[in-house]
Structure 1
Amino acid sequence: MRSPLPQINDKPEHAEIIARLPNEWTAWPQDSGSSNAMARTSVNTPGKTLKKSKLAWPKRPVVFISDPHADATAFEASLIAAGVATQRKTGLGKLKLTKSGRKTEIIIGGDCLDKGPSNLALLRSVKQLYRLKARVTLLAGNHDLRLIMGLLALARKKDIGNQHFFVRMGKKVVPLFKEVFEQYLADTKWDKKIPDEDTCRDILFPNDKWFEAFPYHAAGQLTAEGIDREVRKMRSKVQSFENHCLAAGLSLRHVYAASLMCQKLFLHKKGEFAWFFRKMKLVEKRGSFLFLHAGLDDTMGELLLKSGIKYANKAFHRNLKHRDLFGFYYSSIANTFRTKYRDADLPLTERGVKAIHKAGIHVVVQGHVNRQQGQRVTVKKGLIHVEADITLDEHSRRSEGLDSYGIGATLINKRQGLIGISCDYPTAKVMKPQALRQIYG
C-alpha cells in the first residue's frame, strides 16, 4: 500500500526537517473527548454514519497550517514537511513550489502574529507564497485582529468601547513594536513629533473611568461572564503593559512611534504589509469542511445557512472598516476567531449545529486550541472539529518544554482522507474517508 506521507526532496537543506518528522503512519488514535463537548465520543466510536453524499471532500488537496505565531522557520519547514514546497538554497524566503504544491490549496489558519521570534520575517514568508502564485487562503486569527484593532483604536475618536484595545494587545505585541522600531525608525529623527511620556501614556491607555463605565457599556452584548473576564484581563494588562515595554528596551514614546509606523505599514494602501489584512478571510468552505481559526456560535451558524460564505467574509471586512470597534470585536463575527466554547463566549447549541449541518458543513478545521501531541479530532458541541494548532513557534515551545521550532501540517485529501503530521508525535495520524464518516455528525 502506498504511503500517505508527503514526498520530501532528500536534499541537504531538508536534512534537519526530515530527521525530526515521523517516517511511519498509523490509524488516527482515539480521542478521550472534550470537556466542553455536548456529545462526547472518541473518533473510532461507531455512531451515526454520515451518508456518502453528505460528506463532500475538497475538490483539490488542502494543506492547513495554523498559528505560526511569528516563526518563519517553523512555517517554511511545515510547508516543506507537507510536500508543497522545497528550498532552493539555505535561508528564509528561498522556497519554490513542488508539483504537488502547485495543485494544492494552502490554508493558513490565522495567528501569524505575536510571540516570535520575528513577526516581519513571518509576514515576508507568507508574502513569498503569493509571489510564487501559490493557491493561498489566509484566515483571520485573534492575535492578528488584536493588532488591527489596536491600530484602528488609535486612529479613531476615543470612547468607552474602544479605548482599551491598544493595551489589550498585551505583552505579546511588544516584540512587533520593537522589530518595527529597529527596522524602520532607529536611525531616523523619529522623536521629532512624538509627545512626552505622560502624553503617550494618556493616548495609549484607557482612562480611569473605563473600568467603571465598561460593564454598563457592554451590558446586553457580552455575557455576564464575558464582561467580568474582560475587566479582569484589562486590570492585569494595564498594570503590566508598560513594564513589558520597558523590559524590551522601549519607552512609551518608542511604542507610540512604532504604532504610528505600523499604521503606515498595515493600514495604508501602499504600506508594505497592507496586503495582510486585505487578503484575510473569516471562513472558507471546501466540500463539507469549514476552515476557520477558532469556532462557531448559533448566530454564525444561521448566517452561514441563510447567507453563505461569501456574505460572511464580506461582512467581516465591512464591519471591521465601518462598524464601531466594540460592536465588531464582541460580535458573532469576531467570536469566530476568538471562541473556545467557554461560558464567556457566545454559545453554540443544538440549534446552531443543526443550521451548520443544513449549510452542508460537517467538519470544522481550526487552529487556536494549542496541542502538544499533534492534531486531534474531537466532537465539540455536537460538531466534528479538527484541532490543528500543533505549537509551531519557538517561543511557545520553549515555555512548554518543547525543543526547537515546530514542524507539521494537516493534510485533507479525498483519496487518502485526513493526515496529521507533527514533529511532536511519533507517527503521522491517518484517518481514511470512511473512518471520518463513522463519527457522529
Structure 2
Amino acid sequence: MQTPIPVIEEHPHHADIIARSPSEWMPWPRDDSSVNSHVLASNDTPSRYKKNKLRWPKRSVVFISDPHADAVAFEASLIAAGVAERKDKAELGHLSLTKKGRKSEIIVGGDCLDKGPSNLKLLRSVEQLYKLKARVTLLAGNHDLRLLMGLLALARKKDVGNQHFFVRMGKKVVPLFREVFDEYLADTHWEKKIPDEDACRKLLFPGDDWFKEFPFHAAGFLTAEGIDREVRKMESKNHSFEKHCLSAGLSLRQVYATSIKCQQLFLHKKGEFNWFFRKMELVAKRGSFLFLHAGLDDSMSQMLLKNGTKYANKAFHSNLKRRDLFSFYYSSIANTFRTKYRDADLPLTQRGVDAIHKAGIHVVVQGHVNRQKGQRIAIKKGLVHVEADITLDSHSRKMEGLYDYGIGATLIDKETGIIGLSCDYPMAKVMTAKELQGIYS
C-alpha cells in the first residue's frame, strides 16, 4: 500500500507543522479501550446488515472538529491534511487551497467557539475557506449553540424555559465577550442607553423562582437525571458567572453591552459573522458515513430513516427560528450536538441503531469526545463511531499537560480508508477500506 499520509510541501512556513506531524503510518491499533477487536469481526454484525455494502463518500473528506477558538491549530491542521498551504505569508488568514483541497470536502465538526486563544481569529480562519471557494460543511457544536441560545434568550420574551440560557453559557464564553468588547466597543461610547449594574443583572440572570419552577417545566422533556444535572449546573454557574466576568475585567454593564453587539455581529443580516449560524448544519451524510458533532438517539435515528438529512437540517434551522428555546435545546435535534450517551441524555437503544442501519448509515464520525492520543474507533451502542476530537486548542492542551497548539485531522477516502492524523500520536493510524468493509461483507 502506498503511504496514505498527505504530502506537505516543503516550505519555511510549513516547517513546524511538518516536524510535529506523523511521517509514518501503521494499521489502526486494536485494544479493549480504543478500537475493540470485534470492530472488524464480521460475525458480530447482524446478518441482515451484511448485505448492505459500505458506501464511501464520493469525494475525499477531511474532518476537523473542536478547534475551540484556536486559529493556529485549525490552519495547521488543514495544512497537515494536505488541503491547504501557506506560501506568501506566515500569518493567519493567508492560506490557499492545494490541488487536493480543491477536490476534497472539508467538514468542520463543530465547537468553533470558546476556550481560546481567539474566537474572532478562528471565525475568520473558517470564513477564509468560503472565500477560497472550498467545499465546506460546517456542523453545529454544543459550544457554538450555547452562544446562540444565550443571545436569543436576551432577544426574546423571558420565561422559565429560556431565562437561564445566558448565564448557562458559563465562564467559557467570557473570553469571547472580552474580545468583542475590546475590538468593537472599548473606544466607543458603549455605555449610552445601557442600564445600571443591578438592572443588567436582572436582565442577564434567571429570576429567584427559576430553580423551583424549572423542574416542573422540564418534566416530560428531560429525564430525571437530566433535570437534576441541569439544576446543579445552573446553581454553580449562577453563583460564579459574575465572578468570572469581573476576573476578565468586565462589569455586568459591559457584558450586557457586549451581548447586544454580539447580537448585531451574529444575528443581524449584515453582521460580520452572520454566515456562521446561517451556514451551520446539524448532520451530513456521505455514503454510509454520518458526520455530526456528538451522537444519536432513537428519535433522531427514526427521523433520518424516514425523512433523511436534508429534512433534519431544515428542521434544525426551522426550530431555531420558530420554536421556543427550551423545547429546542432539550429536544432530540439538540441532543445530536450534546449527547455523550449518558443517563441524562436522550437514549439510543437497539431500536435506534436498527433504524440508523436501515437508513444506510454504518459509521458515525463525531467530535465532542476529547481524546489525547489521537483519534479512536469504537463500537458504541452497537454502532461504529470514529471519535475525532483530538484536543487542538492550546488552552485545553495546557490544562491537559500537552505541548503547544494541536495539529490533526481525520481523513476518509475509499482508496486509503480512515486515516487518523494527530501530533499527539507518533504515527498516522490507518484503517483500510477493506478492513472496515469487512464488517458489512
Q: Please state which band the TM-score falls in when normalised by the shorter chain.
A: over 0.9
Distance 1:73 1:59 in 2: 29
Aligned match of 1:155: 155
Measure how far apart 1:53 and its partner are: 5.0
Contact conserved, 1:31 with 1:376, CA < 8 A, in 2? no
Aligned match of 2:70: 71
Contact conserved, 2:293 with 2:336, CA < 8 A, in 1? yes
Contact conserved, 1:139 with 1:293, CA < 8 A, in 2? yes
Distance 2:332 2:397 in 1: 31
Contact conserved, 2:85 with 2:97, CA < 8 A, in 1? yes
SS of the aligned residue for 2:250 comes to coil
Point out the more displaced range, 430-439 or 280-289: 430-439
Contact conserved, 1:293 with 1:366, CA < 8 A, in 2? yes
Aligned residue identity for 1:378: A
Contact conserved, 1:47 with 1:440, CA < 8 A, in 2? no
Distance 1:72 1:9 in 2: 20
Aligned residue identity for 2:133: K
- How is 1:114-125 mapped onto 2 (pairs within 5 angstroms)? 114-125=114-125
- How is 1:100-249 mapped onto 2 (pairs within 5 angstroms)? 100-249=100-249
Measure how far apart 1:47 and its partner are: 3.3
Point out the more displaced range, 232-241 or 428-437: 428-437
Aligned match of 1:395: 395
| Cα distance per residue 1:86-144 (max 9 Å; x no partner) | 00321000000000000000000000000000000000000000000000000000000
Contact conserved, 1:65 with 1:109, CA < 8 A, in 2? yes
| Cα distance per residue 1:133-189 (max 9 Å; x no partner) | 000000000000000000000000110000000000000000000000000000000
Aligned match of 2:366: 366
Contact conserved, 1:41 with 1:379, CA < 8 A, in 2? no
Contact conserved, 1:114 with 1:175, CA < 8 A, in 2? yes
Distance 2:16 2:50 in 1: 43
Aligned match of 2:11: 11
Distance 1:168 1:235 in 2: 10
Distance 1:20 1:46 in 2: 36
- How is 1:346-385 mapped onto 2 (pairs within 5 angstroms)? 346-385=346-385
- How is 1:307-318 mapped onto 2 (pairs within 5 angstroms)? 307-318=307-318
Distance 2:219 2:160 in 1: 13
Aligned match of 2:43: 47
Measure how far apart 1:54 and its partner are: 2.0
Distance 1:5 1:310 in 2: 33
Distance 2:291 2:380 in 1: 15
Is residue 2:261 matched to residue 1:265?
no
SS of the aligned residue for 1:130 comes to helix
Is residue 2:58 matched to residue 1:59?
yes
Distance 1:138 1:431 in 2: 25
Contact conserved, 2:141 with 2:338, CA < 8 A, in 1? yes
| Cα distance per residue 1:168-218 (max 9 Å; x no partner) | 000000000000000000000000111111111000000110000000000
Percent identity over paired residues: 76
Aligned residue identity for 1:409: A
Contact conserved, 2:73 with 2:407, CA < 8 A, in 1? yes
Aligned residue identity for 2:24: E
SS of the aligned residue for 1:365 comes to strand
Distance 2:208 2:158 in 1: 13
Measure how far apart 1:2 and its partner are: 1.7
- How is 1:25-44 mapped onto 2 (pairs within 5 angstroms)? 25-33=25-33, 42-44=38-40
Aligned match of 1:321: 321
Distance 2:92 2:66 in 1: 18
| Pair 1:42–1:254, CA change in 2 (3 A) | farther
Distance 2:304 2:231 in 1: 31
Measure how far apart 1:31 and its partner are: 3.9
Aligned match of 2:283: 283
Distance 2:57 2:244 in 1: 44
Measure how far apart 1:33 and its partner are: 4.2
Measure how far apart 1:32 and its partner are: 1.8
SS of the aligned residue for 1:308 comes to helix
Distance 2:98 2:180 in 1: 33
Aligned match of 2:345: 345
Measure how far apart 1:307 and its partner are: 0.6
SS of the aligned residue for 2:436 comes to helix
Q: Normalising by structure 1, what TM-score?
A: 0.97
Measure how far apart 1:22 and its partner are: 1.0
Measure how far apart 1:435 and its partner are: 1.1
Distance 2:398 2:54 in 1: 39
Contact conserved, 2:367 with 2:389, CA < 8 A, in 1? yes
Contact conserved, 1:47 with 1:438, CA < 8 A, in 2? no
Distance 1:309 1:339 in 2: 18
SS of the aligned residue for 1:69 comes to coil
Point out the more displaced range, 45-54 or 375-384: 45-54
Contact conserved, 1:33 with 1:41, CA < 8 A, in 2? no
Distance 1:247 1:215 in 2: 31
Aligned match of 1:428: 428
Aligned CA RMSD, in angstroms, stands at 1.4
